């Protein structure tokens, strides 16, 4: 069955370290997204991609970057982790009807 | 602008009905509804496109009033499995059919036996 996976599921890191969160989907969707979810804010868009080599900034992109070298993967990198980036991160991909399918999430703690 | 959901939280007994509202300050192309159970990922429920259509499956349905820039999610004869946080996501007219979603802050629904 097609699916979307994220790794790691939990990560603890220190302030200033570079962290990369992986996202992999097997639906062959062109559109992929990264969100962060914080209490009281709902889901906020960090970056998105509409296809290979395409990346775009979302609402809360400062301190994050993405790259899209193939259809299946959209890794999210925190260049220099900050405590404000402690959050739950969800990756999603969408089909032609713009239905979004979310990965299981990564809980990131920055100490 | 982030859509506004109301109420923020609601507690029901099994079998009771609930309505969750989603309101935007922008002209909308579509409204999307998702449910998220505690500790899990959001799960897609339905999309409503401009044109005022009403959709539903099982005992969960929704409407979209394009002129009022509002959508409502209706849960009838609620079941324990309906518990979770419901999010609406909106796509404005500029975004069109593949526009990005802007999510509301969510409505927490608790169904008690």
Contact B32 A42 (CB under 8 A): no
pLDDT confidence tier of residue A109, bands split at 50, 70 and 90: very high
CB atoms within 10 A of CB B80: 10
Q: Which residues from B are below 8 Å from A104, CB to CB?
A: 40-41
- pLDDT at position A103: 97
**A15 to chain B nearest CA, in Å?**
25
- pLDDT at position B99: 78
- Counting beta carbons within 10 angstroms of the beta carbon of residue A13, is it exposed (0 to 12), middle (13 to 18) or buried (19 or more)? middle
Query: How many Å apart are CA B87 and CA B49, to the nearest integer?
Result: 16
Nearest-by-Cβ selection for B97 from A33, A90, A98: A98
Please, how many CA atoms are within 13 Å of residue A80, restricted to the half-sphere of its CB?
2
- pLDDT at position A97: 84
Rg (chain A; Cα; Å): 13
- pLDDT at position A71: 97
Query: How many Å apart are CA B3 and CA B26, to the nearest integer?
Result: 9
Question: CA separation (Å) from A32 to A4, A90, B36, B40?
Answer: 10, 11, 19, 19
**A32 to chain B nearest CA, in Å?**
10
A12 torsion bin: left (phi>0), alpha (psi -120 to 50), beta (else): beta
Choose, out of B33, B48, B101, the residue to mutate when testing the contact with A (most A CBs < 10 Å).
B101
pLDDT digits (tens, 9 = 90+) for A43-93: 999 999 999 999 999 999 999 999 999 999 999 999 999 999 999 999 999
What percent of chain B lies above the pLDDT cut of 90?
73
- pLDDT at position B97: 64
- pLDDT at position B58: 72
What percent of chain A lies above the pLDDT cut of 90?
89
Q: Which residues from B are below 8 Å from A50, CB to CB?
A: 98
């Amino acid at each position: 069955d097609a699916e979307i996976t994220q790794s790691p599921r939990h990560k603890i890191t220190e302030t200033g370290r570079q962290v990369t969160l992986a996202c992999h989907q097997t639906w062959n969707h062109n559109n992929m997204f990264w969100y962060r979810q914080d209490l009281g804010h709902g889901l906020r868009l960090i970056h998105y991609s509409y296809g290979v080599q395409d990346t775009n900034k979302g609402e809360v992109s400062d301190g994050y970057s993405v790259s899209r070298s193939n259809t299946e993967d959209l890794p999210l990198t925190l260049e220099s982790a900050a405590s404000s980036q402690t959050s739950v991160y969800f990756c999603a991909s969408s089909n032609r009807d713009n239905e979004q399918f979310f990965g299981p999430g990564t809980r990131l703690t920055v100490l | 602008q982030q859509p506004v959901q109301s109420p923020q939280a609601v507690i029901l007994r099994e079998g009771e009905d609930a309505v969750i509202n989603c309101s935007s300050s922008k002209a909308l192309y579509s409204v999307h509804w998702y449910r998220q159970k505690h500790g899990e990922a959001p799960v897609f429920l339905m999309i409503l496109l401009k044109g005022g259509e009403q959709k539903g499956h099982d005992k969960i349905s929704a409407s979209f009033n394009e002129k009022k820039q509002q959508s409502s999610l209706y849960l009838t004869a609620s079941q324990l499995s309906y518990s979770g946080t419901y999010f609406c996501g909106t796509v404005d007219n500029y975004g069109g059919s593949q526009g990005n979603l802007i999510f509301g802050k969510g409505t927490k629904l608790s169904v008690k036996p």
